Amino acid sequence: MTPLERAEAKFGWKLVTPTILILGLLILYPLMYNVYLSFFDVQLNGYKTFVGFENYIKLLTNTDYYSAIGTTSLYLLGTVVGTTLLGLAMALLLKDPFKGRGLVNAAIMLPYVAPVISVVFGWQFLFDPISGVVNYLFVDALGIWSERTNLIGNPDSALWVVVLFDIWKHAPIAYLLILSKLVSVSRDQYEAAAIDGYGPIGRFFHVTLPELYFVLATVVLLRLIWNLNRFEDVYLLAPNVQTLPIFTYYQAFTGVIDQGLAAATSVIQLAVLSVFIWFYIKKIMKW
Amino acid sequence: MLGKRTLTGRIGFALAILLLVSFSLLPFAQILSTSLKHQYDWGNPSLIPQTINLDAYKELLGLTEAKKVEMPAAIQKILNNPKLPQDKKDAISAKYMSNDNLFPFGKYMLNSVIFSVGAATFSLVFSVMGAYSISRLRFKGQVVIQRSVLFVYMVGGVLLMVPLYQMAMNIGLASSLWGSAFCLFLIYIVQTLPVGMYMLGNYFRGIPFALEEAAMMDGCSRKEAIIKVVLPLSLPMLATVFIYCFIIGWNEYLFASVFLKQYPEFHTLPLALQELFVSKNAIWDRIMAASMLTLAPIVICFLFASRFMKGGKTDGGVKG
């Protein structure tokens, strides 16, 4: 190592040290501490007693836990498929420049940046059984449903409202990722395919889709990673939809508080998440 | 052969755009509409209010005149009791008067601003340092740090709420008001730092090293080169990162509820709005007006930031 390189390395460490300290202390350490906590009976005031694997046994024999896994799976399936397809449709639709595209772009990005707490109230009002426009549409205007229903009040239907909400909120991000790849597909390829006799649909399947394969995989993986931990969107819109994060939150901070059990839930969830993240860093990230 | 647009094609395209924009904006339109409606008008499916009602906004922004509350005779009697110390009397009368301002929106907004702007500022400083280090300087362990930053970037808050709360409890911070506020502040920095580093790291890599080198040839130290060359070149990105971090803090609910629920005077907007919604004071027009006012700063920031984010940039786009 030359003195210059040594000076560079020293400077590098100096700059990155605060970050390492903060992230280490407040993310990496808590993750390990969480594993430790999962072997204890933990009170809200910090009082702990060692219980070994009891939390895990309690968790794995709890039917609510399995139903939370089921709900989470449906939520993930619905949001991943919906967000990717809508994002793709948006990208295809808005790929070519047209008058007013900037405005349309701003409008469709708005759900993504808006505070969850504000927009959930809009959604709650839309689905309100008395004043909401959804009930008005399906009961009074179209007559498809025979009576007004509280879609958010019933956990089964609320899940699908939450899925729709999540698609609405995160399709813009899928759109941006897909669009950035889509605009790089060269026009020559489409013309070649057109000369070969492919119509618009054939061109989509033989040119666009193969080119987008990688970015679509990225979108799917990112949706899985973020939505596995999604808390606010679900809890604030429909607190009765118990996906895993909501289940954990209830265990940890409401009713009969059992933070050790919540810790055990988080440990299992982190293990699953780590697989997704490892896959993402390994296969997709080029940092 | 390509790009031939028939009339039906054009109409179909316009309809699809219209549908998409309506889908995106409908909830916003609903919020705005309900916030301006009188109660008798709520059940009306039309988005346009029959008459505009600004009362909810006036009330939230403190523009209404304080209503004189008639003191019940019994209370008046207690207050006239000469044996009662003056501060007790003040407390009692204040309690009766306080019904006027049910939702101190301004206070919550100030809390939100302090938390999110403060955290974004610290986060930006640390991420500039960290991002420069891992994207520009070579040293052992750099790759491990890069990967770790990416990893923690994707770990959600839900996995951290129990251990962070317990840590704060163990060192005694969670049981005091200022301790809890301090914890939340730190957490907001941590929640935004990896994103900032990730965005800035990608950006710094795109700045030609030759520029810095030239500055250093002219006698600048590396530190000076960063301050005089790299940072001015990155200004748009610095603004974007700052706004991005600010938005994350502004929108955050989970940790605010874990740490600050029991301290109403420190509630941030998301927490306050949720508490209002589940309380008996929930009235749609007031909630919608509060939502609108919570939304407004974000929309403004976004419109400002999007000027810098032209060209399908997805630097920050993976979060969410």
Question: What DSSP string describes B75-119?
Answer: HHHHHH-TTS-HHHHHHHHHHHHGGG-S--HHHHHHHHHHHHHHH
DSSP letters, A208-230, are IHHHHHHHHHHHHHHHHHHHHT-
Other beta carbons less than 10 A from residue B12's beta carbon: 11
Delineate the domains of chain A, giving CATH numbers in brackets.
56-284 (1.10.3720.10)
**Average pLDDT for A124-139:** 87
Give the whole-angstrom CA distance, residue A241 versus residue B115.
30
Rounded to whole angstroms, the Cα distance separating B118 from B61 reads 23
Rounded to an integer, what distance in angstroms lies between the CA atom of residue A14 and that of residue A3? 16
CA–CA separation, B281 and B284 (whole Å): 10
Question: Smallest CA–CA separation between A110 and chain B, in Å?
Answer: 7
Structure confidence at residue B141 (pLDDT): 84
Mutation test of the interface with chain B: which of A4, A27, A191, choosing the one with the most B Cβ atoms within 10 A?
Answer: A27
Give yes or no for residue B58 having a pLDDT over 60. yes
pLDDT mean across residues, chain A: 90
Q: Which of A255-269, B1-15, B67-81 has the lowest mean pLDDT?
A: B67-81
A37·B17 Cβ contact <8 A: no
- Position B316 scores a pLDDT of 46
Contact B154 A280 (CB under 8 A): yes
Each residue's pLDDT tens digit, A67-105: 999 999 999 999 999 999 999 999 999 988 888 888 898
* Mean pLDDT, rounded, of chain B: 84
Question: Of the spans A195-199, B2-6, B62-66, which averages the highest pLDDT?
Answer: A195-199
Contact B160, A30 (CB under 8 A): yes
pLDDT at A19 over 50: yes
Does the pLDDT of residue B210 top 70, yes or no?
yes
**Interface list for A 48-67 with B (CB within 8 A):** none
H-helix segments, A114-243? 116-126, 133-135, 155-182, 187-195, 200-203, 209-228, 232-237
Contact of A15 with B140, CB cutoff 8 Å: no
Residue A60 has a pLDDT of 93
With CB atoms and an 8 Å threshold, state whether B253 touches A117: yes
Phi-psi region of B312 (alpha: psi -120 to 50; beta: other; left: phi over 0): left
pLDDT value of residue A259:
92
pLDDT in tens, A230-261: 999 999 999 999 999 999 999 999 888 889 99
Total beta-carbon pairs less than 8 A apart between chain A and chain B: 285
Closest residue of B to A235, CA-based?
A: B254
Q: Supply the DSSP symbol for A283.
A: I
Dihedral sign for Cα B100, B102, B108, B109, please. negative
Mutating which of A40, A99, A113 best tests the B interface, going by the most B Cβ atoms within 10 A? A113
Q: Find where tokens 């666009």 sit.
A: A208
- Supply the pLDDT for residue B165: 93
Secondary structure (3-state) at A42 = strand
Domain B105-306: top CATH class:
mainly alpha
Whether B300 has a pLDDT exceeding 90, the answer reads no
Confidence of residue B81 (pLDDT cuts 50, 70, 90): confident
A26 and B190: CB-CB below 8 Å? Answer: yes
pLDDT > 50? residue B314: no
The confidence band for B105, taking pLDDT boundaries of 50, 70 and 90, is: confident
pTM: 0.88
Structure tokens at B133: 């280090």
Q: What percent of chain A has pLDDT over 90?
A: 56
Question: What is the radius of gyration, based on Cα positions, of chain A?
Answer: 24
Does residue B220 carry a pLDDT above 70?
Answer: yes
- Are A249 and B158 an interchain contact pair (Cβ–Cβ within 8 Å)? yes
Query: Are A111 and B16 a contacting pair at CB < 8 A?
Result: no
Tell me the pLDDT band of B1, cut-offs 50, 70 and 90: very low
Q: Nearest-CA distance from A204 to chain B in Å?
A: 13
Quote the tokens at residue B181.
Answer: 């506020």
**In the predicted model, what is the mean pLDDT of residues B160-167?**
93
> What integer pLDDT is reported at residue B311 of this predicted model?
41
Q: Which residue has the higher pLDDT, B120 or B203?
A: B120
Better-scored residue on pLDDT, B99 or B127 = B127
